A and B are shown apart, each in its own frame.
Chain A
Amino acid sequence: MERVEFITESPDSGDGVSTKSMMLNMGPQHPATHGVLRIVLHLDGEIVVKAVPYIGYLHRGIEKLCENITYQQCLPYTDRMDYLAAICNNIGFILTVEKLLGIEDEIPERAKVAEVILFELGRIESHMVGIGTHALDLGAMTAFFYCFKERERIYDILELVCGARLTTSYPRVGGLPLDLPEDFEEKIRNFLKIFPETIDEVDKLLTRNKIWVNRTKGVAFISAEDAINLGLSGPNLRGSGVPHDLRKSNPYLDYDKYDFEIPVGTDGDAYSRYLCRMEEMRQSVKIIEQAINNLPDGPYAADLPEVVLPKKELVYTKMESLIRHFVLVYEGLKPPVGEVYHGVENPKGELGYYLVSDGTAKPYRMRVRGPSFVNMQAIAQMVKGAFLADVITAIGSLDIVLGEIDR
């Protein structure tokens, strides 16, 4: 192992005074790094001269694991990447496999609308955690409790729909595994009634809070040009004034039929990104409202015996369905030879799946373009020349999740 000097002397700083720069190791076990992130900070007094992030502490090799299992078996692994919005990862993966199979047009309307509702719930859930923990890191504890209360409500809805709270593994290729529960609509409407009040409360606690504004305004700045050059996505890109959102630019799940705005910041600082996230949640509420009003009845899974498992009662009563069930579980679905990339606008940014199929039931190569992985690169530039305390602001405002960076 390489030895590193903790104190390095820089001989001349221009005015004839020799200064010493100190190396400070932050993480991997640090409450404000949102996981196992390690940043080596080179400090000149309280000013950060250089920040070098080290990642990989949570690397599980999901891409390699998925090469050895069938497409359906890959689904639970996608939960474990961005575990704060597991449902968004699931839907992204499902959409990619559906694109690979070429069956996007055959997915029933009910499944699509339900997926939009769940996707936007995932966005709210992730932003609530992002803003809550960001505020907690900067000392505003109250907002954290309001945010986590709402997250619990969303978890209750997810539990109702799919039985799991955190690792949902929910939709299936071709639609939903089961029909939505009877009180789904009522629960969503209750949530839509209560949730805007919480946003307003968090808004009251933070947006004009003098300490919050002082800690975030002008901190962790990134210009629009740099943001594009670095490949940032999600609120980190829009906070710098680039109106790019995959839901508008390359629509999936019929997002082009919904009426919503893309909030864009102007300043490119932590405060601007915070405002973007707050407004995005309000827009998500708007989308869920439209979706729940237009939730159609009818089939919840496509009529594709090659891809979708037969209904349980048919498996128990009909020989053909039993065989079909056995073949699909045992052999898996077999997409044609080819390769697709599909990106979805996750809460953290663009989550892209790149699947290469060789015609067998296992993906030949599965690549995950994690938004946090690319966004994390900006940290070195953001904190250069800033105060040590601003490193915490920068990490919080980037809203990273290490499960997705390390994969």
Chain B
Amino acid sequence: MSIGSESIIDSIKSRFDSSIYKSDSFRDESTLYVKKDSFLQFCRSLKQDFKFTYLIDITAVDYLDIRVPRYEMVYLFHRFGDDYDENIRIRIKVELEDSDITIDSITPIWSGANWLEREVLDMFGIEFRGHPDPRRILMPEDYKPHPLRKDFDVRNRQPSKESFEKELKEGFE
């Protein structure tokens, strides 16, 4: 499966010359790095002008002690084309500093982003500005750590044990 088509990616690049600061390609999959400030505007245009109407996936990667900025948001979009025959995919990345892990939510643009963003919030603690329902999705709502961060210790069961003991003491209500 190839992700990205040269002509489309070039036209996106020339349109958003100032917001795209890096692009790379590995195994025929093209990635564009977009500046955080202009991300929401970029996404609106991606859907309206470039017809990337189908959101595939949202996730994040934590590069603790490997890279600065530490977090990277990864978005994958699909474009059907007029007769569902183009099927072009594009990967968008936004880098987030450790000091400010908030990003604009794209749920108002693609409603399918709702749960995917909630999962990133749950697993990485990245906050989404303008998300209609910012709650944890997989972990219990009173759970504090963010499991997919690299500094989370898989053998450390302390947080859940603490909250269990607290509830035993104070009652489950």
* Residues of chain A at the chain B interface (Cβ within 8 Å): 1, 3, 55-56, 59, 61, 63-65, 68, 99-100, 102, 226, 228-232, 242-244, 246, 249-252, 338-343, 350, 352, 354, 356, 358, 364-365, 367, 369, 373-374, 376-377, 406-407
- Interface pairs (29), CB distance under 8 Å: A1-B173, A55-B137, A55-B138, A63-B123, A64-B154, A68-B154, A100-B27, A229-B53, A229-B112, A231-B54, A246-B1, A249-B84, A250-B1, A338-B27, A339-B29, A352-B76, A354-B59, A358-B66, A365-B61, A365-B148, A367-B57, A369-B56, A369-B57, A369-B59, A376-B115, A377-B111, A377-B114, A377-B115, A407-B138
- Report if B8 contacts A (CB, 8 A): no
Contact (Cβ within 8 A) B27 A243: no
Within 8 Å CB of A232, what residues of B? Answer: 112
Contact (Cβ within 8 A) A244 B111: no
Interface centre among B57, B76, B84 (most CB of A within 10 A): B57
Q: How far is the CA of A338 from the CA of B115 in the complex (A)?
A: 27
Contact pattern, B 21-34, Cβ under 8 Å of A = 1, otherwise 0: 00000110100000
Within 8 Å CB of A3, what residues of B? Answer: 173
Q: How far is the CA of A119 from the CA of B127 in the complex (A)?
A: 38
Within 8 Å CB of A364, what residues of B? Answer: 61
Partner of A352, one of B56, B80, B139, B147: B56
The smallest beta-carbon distance between A230 and chain B, in angstroms, is: 4
Contact (Cβ within 8 A) B57 A352: yes
Within 8 Å CB of B89, what residues of A? Answer: 250
Q: 6 shortest A-B CB distances, which residue pairs? A: A231-B112, A250-B1, A56-B138, A249-B87, A338-B26, A230-B112
The smallest beta-carbon distance between B33 and chain A, in angstroms, is: 13
In the complex with contacts A3-B173, A59-B138, A229-B110, A341-B76 CB distance below 8 A:
yes
Partner of A244, one of B80, B123, B147: B80
Taking A354-B57, A354-B74 as given, write out 18 further A-B residue pairs in contact, using a Cβ cutoff of 8 Å, ordered by the A residue number.
Answer: A55-B138, A59-B138, A64-B152, A65-B154, A102-B27, A228-B53, A228-B54, A230-B111, A249-B87, A339-B26, A340-B27, A341-B3, A341-B29, A365-B61, A365-B148, A367-B74, A376-B115, A377-B114
Within 8 Å CB of A61, what residues of B? Answer: 147
Within 8 Å CB of B55, what residues of A? Answer: 231
Residue of A nearest to B149 (CB): A64
Q: How far is the CA of A75 from the CA of B114 in the complex (A)?
A: 29
In the complex with contacts A61-B147, A343-B1, A243-B84 CB distance below 8 A:
yes
Contact (Cβ within 8 A) A374 B138: no
Contact (Cβ within 8 A) A373 B115: yes
The smallest beta-carbon distance between B8 and chain A, in angstroms, is: 15
Within 8 Å CB of B62, what residues of A? Answer: 365
Among B87-118, those with CB < 8 Å from A are 87, 89, 91, 110-116
Within 8 Å CB of A231, what residues of B? Answer: 54-56, 110, 112-113, 116
Within 8 Å CB of A244, what residues of B? Answer: 54, 80, 84, 87
Q: How far is the CA of A157 from the CA of B23 in the complex (A)?
A: 46
Residue of B nearest to A99 (CB): B27
The smallest beta-carbon distance between A269 and chain B, in angstroms, is: 20
Within 8 Å CB of B66, what residues of A? Answer: 358
Q: How far is the CA of A284 from the CA of B87 in the complex (A)?
A: 23
The smallest beta-carbon distance between B44 and chain A, in angstroms, is: 14
